[in-house]
Chain A
Amino acid sequence: MFKIPISFIYLPTPININYMWNFGSMLGMFLMIQIISGLFLSMHYCPNINLAFMSISQIMKDINSGWLIRLIHMNGASFYFLLIYIHISRNLFYYSFKLIHVWMIGSMILFLSMATAFLGYVLPWGQMSFWGAMVITNLLSALPYIGQMMVEWIWGGFSINNSTLNRFFSFHFILPFIILMMVFIHLMTLHISGSSNPIHSKSNIYKIIFHQYFSIKDLITIMMIMLIFMLINLQNPYMLSDPDNFKMANPMITPSHIKPEWYFLFAYSILRSIPNKLGGVIMLFMSIFILFLLPLMNNNKMKNIKFYPLNQFLFWMFINIFIMLTWLGGQMIEYPFTNLNNIFTILYFNYFIFSFMLNNLFDSLMKNY
């Protein structure tokens, strides 16, 4: 019964982990923020195509502090993804995917979080909600034979309609709890071996107790990110969202640029860069699924990218490629962007292959020493 809290308090933690190891606690924090603010929102939200937009407006204008809860929930998702991306790049940098169970569960959490965020974006029933849902659900129709059937099954009708909104709401409510459970498994598997550390020596060599040392250290970054988060919520809350979502969904009017929230733009670029629909869907799926393959592909001897200078270079290139893809996802489909899109999509996937090959190359060079 007390095992779980005790394992958090007395957890032996490598002494030399740096601030990059703080993002997990921030993510846990934001998951809880999303769950709690979401619970309050669900008390006033109406999952009905005629009322959804109105009920959000009511939450913003009439419910006590409703605007605050709603803005927190809205921007919380963005922050969650910002942090999860940094968390994942940390793992790429320090080869943390060597903790294979932790990594696999973590990648699944990413998958589920993306699904949850997508479902949640549909709920306010704005223009972008509706058309985003239209684009994404329609992707399934690319599947051979069963595609169209699957789409209609998911819609619960022949178009996106009230039952679609209802079921999206149900799934949006339940998925975070599944994520929460997976987060616990993520932690349990992590605590079996304990965290890795930046120089990737055997972590057991020098560990100190978690509580007070690392809980306070985590508190610093939690407070910093919360400050930034609140300042964005209060000063420029719609910075990260699309103005079109302030127009109520209208199936008769297609917005001129349909685009997802910023955290899906990289995947959206990859989707758009493939001229074939099914091919695009597969690449979209692969862009995330490739994470599962990483621990299977890499068998490098040293566990910090700093010992592989070329890989380190490649890693920072990858970060830039990710940013470029994100930027390209928001651009129109025309001359310079489509070409850039193709190039960066190739580069995105190349990273995973080249980093693996460079690892091996460097390892074999080092063997002689």
Chain B
Amino acid sequence: MAASLGRVCKFGLLKSNYGTLFNQQVHNFSTTNQWSKGRKVLLACLGVTAGGISALIYALDQSVKAFDQVAHPPNYKWDFYGMFSSLDHRSLRRGWEVYKNVCSACHSLDFLAFRHLVGVTHTEEEVKAIAAEYQVQDGPDDTGAYYMRPGKLSDPIPGPYPNEEAARAANNGAYPPDLTYIINANHNGENYVFSLLTGYCDPPAGITLREGQYFNPYFVNGALGMPQIIYNEVIEYADGTPATASQVAKDVVEFLMWASNADFDDRKRMTIKVIAFGVISLPLVIYWKRLKWTTVKNTKLLFTPRYKRQ
């Protein structure tokens, strides 16, 4: 059986290997080392071509994405995109100002508490002052009554409406979603929200909007329940940065990026550690393995048939 197999494979599998005895012997346990060079090159070319074609098809599919009628946001060059780039904390601080002065009229940040802002956008003293501006319900007190008190660091950031129904009633039936995870909750979130905030335009002919709806090409069916709220000079920044519309949108998106990914900077910092660890230890382990295996890999078992020994 084995011999016939050899004949079928043109002796490729079982051909005697004396020739390699004094050559490089490391690869003798691989099944592909018996292949001719041409065959290997051919196969490699085939693989590369197949891979290339699939990559092309994938790229085409990704670039068109023309299945639904919605404008796809362009990819902006965010400063936090680099492998080691943290969020811009000055921008976060301005972003909080935008949220507080603009978005908080309609949107909540339910999953954030004031204490989360400490050391991120403001100092502890500043956050305490910010929290104290809010009135929070607490209780029951000694008499069993609920009472209002100024906010503390540990309080969640109060939202504008007590519940979804109240929010809908105030916004023509549209529900302003919670903004904490809005970036992660959308494909390409940061670019989407930025484009959404800055992308309002007049509706094209043929599209009728209901009362309280505004046209936005980036929203799924174009009719968004949120009016354009970001204009040039919509707020005045405490640090004196000119509040152009794109600046305001950028800052609030960066802030929301942090709200969705509070671990963002930690992740970037840990990347450095992981890469440093990998760069040092992986080559070491590979070296260790080769060291350990060298005897095994260089062992040559030679079988000489009896008739040759005579």
Contact = CB atoms under 8 A, between A and B. Distances in A.
Interface of A: 15-16, 18, 54, 57, 60-61, 67-68, 71, 198-199, 206, 208, 212-213, 216-217, 219-220, 223-224, 227, 230-231, 233-235, 237-238, 243-244, 246-247, 256, 301-302, 304, 306-307, 332, 334, 366, 369
A234 B268 contact: yes
B185 A244 contact: yes
B8 A369 contact: yes
A216 B262 contact: no
Nearest to B301: A206
A231 B282 contact: no
B191 interface: no
B296 interface: yes
Interface string B25-52: 0000111000000000000000000000
Contacts of A198: 31
**A interface, by DSSP: helix, strand, loop or mixed?**
helix
Contact of B274 (A227, A244, A334, A366): A227
Contacts, number: 97
Contact of B31 (A227, A306, A369): A306
Interface in B271-297: 271, 274-275, 278, 281-282, 285-286, 288-289, 292-293, 296
A212 B292 contact: yes
Given A15-B29, A223-B281, A247 B270 contact: no
B7 interface: yes
A172 B270 CA distance: 30
Given A71-B263, A366-B4, A369-B5, 18 more contacts: A16-B29, A61-B112, A61-B262, A68-B263, A198-B31, A199-B31, A212-B292, A213-B296, A216-B288, A220-B285, A223-B278, A227-B274, A227-B278, A230-B270, A231-B271, A233-B267, A304-B31, A334-B67
B83 interface: yes
Interface residues of B, number: 43
B181 to A, nearest CB: 4
A243 B181 CA distance: 9
Given A67-B262, A234-B271, A369 B7 contact: yes
B266 interface: yes
A146 to B, nearest CB: 38
B128 interface: no
A104 B111 CA distance: 46
Interface in B147-193: 177, 180-181, 184-187, 189
A216 B281 CA distance: 13
B208 to A, nearest CB: 23
B28 to A, nearest CB: 9
Contacts of B116: 61
A366 B8 contact: yes
A213 B293 contact: yes
Contacts of B83: 235
A217 B245 CA distance: 57
Most buried by A among B112, B187, B267, B296: B267
A247 B4 CA distance: 64
Contacts of B5: 302, 307, 366, 369
A320 B282 CA distance: 31
Contacts of A71: 263
Closest 4 CB pairs of A and B: A369-B4, A246-B185, A67-B263, A246-B181
Contacts of A231: 271, 274-275
Most buried by B among A60, A213, A234: A234
A219 B285 contact: yes
B228 interface: no
Interface in B168-225: 177, 180-181, 184-187, 189, 220
B86 interface: no
Contacts of A230: 270, 274
B183 to A, nearest CB: 9
Most buried by A among B186, B281, B285: B285
Contacts of A235: 83, 267, 271
Interface in B239-277: 260, 262-263, 266-268, 270-271, 274-275
Contacts of A223: 278, 281-282, 285
A216 B282 contact: no
Contacts of A233: 267
B263 A60 contact: yes
Interface string B1-39: 100110110000000000000000000011100000000
Nearest to B293: A213
A16 B275 CA distance: 32
Contacts of B111: 54, 57, 61
Contacts of A227: 274, 278, 282
Given A67-B266, A369-B5, A224 B282 contact: yes
A177 B80 CA distance: 41
B185 A243 contact: yes
Contacts of A220: 282, 285-286, 289
A44 to B, nearest CB: 15
B63 to A, nearest CB: 16
B137 to A, nearest CB: 19
A244 B187 CA distance: 9
Contacts of B260: 246
12 contacts: A57-B180, A57-B181, A61-B262, A68-B270, A216-B289, A223-B282, A230-B270, A235-B267, A237-B267, A243-B184, A244-B185, A334-B67
A18 B271 contact: no
A229 to B, nearest CB: 10
Contacts of B296: 15, 208, 213
Contacts of A334: 67
